[in-house]
């Protein structure tokens, strides 16, 4: 195991895959000479040259379409789109082409394409540069959508995405780039479509992904110390395919759940998770599933307003208390029923 940042895990994985497979190449705005807006591709142009680290024009639809064509011909492009907000400019290529080519051509062509893109608020980048619109892509059959929350998962899932024959949208939250964690030294790919139980517990289940999986772990640790709560944490890691089985099994054990997300509440990822729990574990629930999400507004630029709009640790703690109170103030009984 090596301790490194989320950013370094991505960089090292890209480099390792480029060394392993000459068909892997990178495309994106300012990823070469400038070494990327977030320095994920630092040093790769000097090492691999312009043929495999390709700076593109500011034309997301154009270079995404070019990458799809390259993938159909047997290459494995990894496209960096500077933020998920800019993927909207390539929406036709991603949704109408990358996601559908395999099915429309009866499996005669595959699209082994990875689109890496960061998103999320908290950086004072304004409403059009701070969105969490992963739902747009998780909605689309034919795409795979992953959202790692740790450096270890960033490596494992990026390995899996690059080696996958289907198009994969790889989500990176800006707030996670400098977070650190242990990363395995081997190059074993992760499993796309498999959630992780990152903390076992019996009182309530917290379900999140990307940054909110971190928040869930913080809440679980804080309430364990302050209230003696035994909270289970599920990190979704993959939004399509969605691992409903792991979520449902956890809720059957704890009988209560709170779903956390950085996107808007209405029609969000949390709504799909809550519906899945209702379908698979309704008879086990002691209280309705609660959801914590950002405010239903375009994210403000003002730091104080931006912070207020984003879901916080305190928001999650309040939702946990409300859920446990709904089942008979279990907080007072925890630790007395063993």
Bridge partner residues of 235 (DSSP): 196, 208
Structural contact between residues 42 and 36, judged by C-beta atoms closer than 8 angstroms: yes
Asked if 97 is an active-site residue, the reply is no
Asked if 129 is an active-site residue, the reply is yes
* Beta pairing, strands 144-146 & 114-119: unpaired
* Beta pairing, strands 53-55 & 180-183: unpaired
Using CA atoms, how far apart are residues 194 and 196, in angstroms rounded to an integer?
Answer: 7
CA-to-CA separations, 13 to 6, 102, 161, 312, in angstroms, rounded: 11, 27, 11, 31
Structural contact between residues 291 and 315, judged by C-beta atoms closer than 8 angstroms: no
Cβ neighbors of 241 (< 8 A, separation 6 or more) are 144, 192, 193
Structural contact between residues 229 and 202, judged by C-beta atoms closer than 8 angstroms: no
Residue of 11, 97, 129, 214 with catalytic role: 129
Structural contact between residues 328 and 287, judged by C-beta atoms closer than 8 angstroms: no
User: CB count, 10 Å around CB of 133?
Assistant: 15
Residue of 60, 172, 272, 306 with catalytic role: 60
**DSSP single-letter state for residue 145:** E
Q: Where are the alpha helices (DSSP H) in 85-207?
A: 91, 101-104, 135-138, 151-163
Structural contact between residues 181 and 153, judged by C-beta atoms closer than 8 angstroms: no
Cβ neighbors of 96 (< 8 A, separation 6 or more) are none
Give the active site residues.
60, 129
């Amino acid at each position: 195991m090596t301790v490194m940042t989320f950013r370094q895990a991505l960089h090292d994985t890209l480099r390792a895959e480029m060394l392993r497979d000459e068909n892997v190449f990178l495309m994106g705005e300012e990823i070469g000479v400038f070494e990327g807006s977030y320095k994920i591709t630092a040093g790769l142009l000097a090492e691999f040259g312009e043929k495999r680290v390709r700076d593109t024009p500011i034309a997301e639809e154009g270079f995404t379409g070019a990458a799809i064509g390259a993938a159909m011909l047997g290459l494995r492009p990894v496209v960096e789109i500077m933020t998920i907000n800019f993927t909207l400019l390539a929406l036709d290529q991603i949704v109408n082409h990358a996601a559908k080519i395999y099915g429309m051509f009866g499996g005669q062509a595959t699209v082994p394409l990875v689109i890496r893109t960061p998103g999320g608020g908290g950086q004072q980048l304004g409403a059009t540069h701070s969105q969490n619109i992963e739902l747009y892509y998780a909605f689309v059959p034919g795409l795979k959508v992953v959202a790692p929350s740790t450096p270890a998962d960033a490596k494992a899932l990026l390995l899996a995405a690059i080696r996958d024959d289907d198009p994969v949208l790889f989500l990176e939250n800006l707030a996670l780039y400098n977070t650190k964690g242990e990363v395995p030294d081997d190059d074993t790919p992760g499993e796309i479509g498999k959630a992780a139980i990152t903390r076992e517990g019996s009182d309530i289940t917290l379900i999140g992904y990307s940054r909110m999986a971190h928040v869930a772990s913080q809440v679980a640790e804080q309430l364990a110390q302050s209230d003696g709560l035994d909270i289970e944490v599920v990190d979704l890691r993959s939004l399509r395919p969605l691992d409903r089985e792991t979520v449902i099994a956890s809720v059957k054990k704890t009988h209560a759940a709170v779903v956390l997300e950085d996107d808007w509440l209405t029609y969000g990822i949390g709504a799909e998770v809550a519906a899945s729990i209702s379908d698979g574990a309704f008879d086990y629930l002691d209280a309705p599933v609660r959801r914590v999400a950002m405010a239903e507004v375009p994210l403000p630029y003002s730091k104080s307003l931006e912070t207020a709009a984003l879901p916080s640790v305190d928001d999650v703690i309040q939702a946990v208390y409300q859920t446990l109170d709904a089942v008979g103030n279990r907080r007072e009984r925890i630790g007395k029923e063993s």
